[in-house]
Amino acid sequence: MWQDKLKEIIYILENSNVNEIEVNFWGRKFRVTKGATVSAAPIASPPVVQTPLPPDVSDISTEIEAKTDVIEGEELLSPMPGTFYSSPTPDDPIFVSVGESVKKGQTLCIIEAMKIMNEIEAEFDGTISAVKVENGSPVEYNQTLFIINPA
């Protein structure tokens, strides 16, 4: 579980102007810098042991770069954390798909937050260039949901 948290910390660091993050949780101290090492040691022990990143953690930057395709258009960001749904119910068709034209105010998806279904609408007319989230996936605040090419 702490490995997932470490991956999140590395992701935050790579996508910010910060060069170093130090976090203490669950009795462990983690210091992550934009260099190729990570420091991890229990709080009780004074020396900080520097070890190379595990292979699955050090490859995060290449995975992120590989996943960032150049797609023209404006990003529609999630206004809240929650669960992304592409249709009103599992039996209904999805709201929109890639290549579809959308109008301002048209419902594109639903984000469930605290058992409340929030409809996310298009902010302008355009064409869906990409859907960046899978149905049923958790989303974070300001995460890209769609890329819309303005009309």
Report the predicted TM-score, pTM, of the whole model to 2 decimal places. Answer: 0.53
What are the mean pLDDT values of the chain's consecutive 10-residue runs (151 residues total)?
67 75 69 59 53 55 53 86 92 92 93 92 92 93 92 78
Residues 58 and 90 in one domain: no
Domain range for 106 is 74-150
In whole angstroms, give the CA distance from residue 149 to residue 59: 31
User: Does 99 lie in the same domain as 59?
Assistant: no
Same domain, 85 and 121: yes
Sequence-distant (≥ 6) Cβ neighbours of residue 115 within 8 angstroms: none
Q: Which of 32, 67, 102 is the last residue of a domain?
A: 67
Question: What DSSP letter does each residue of 126-142 carry, written as one string?
Answer: EEEEEE-S-TT-EE-TT
Distance CA 136, CA 20 (A): 33
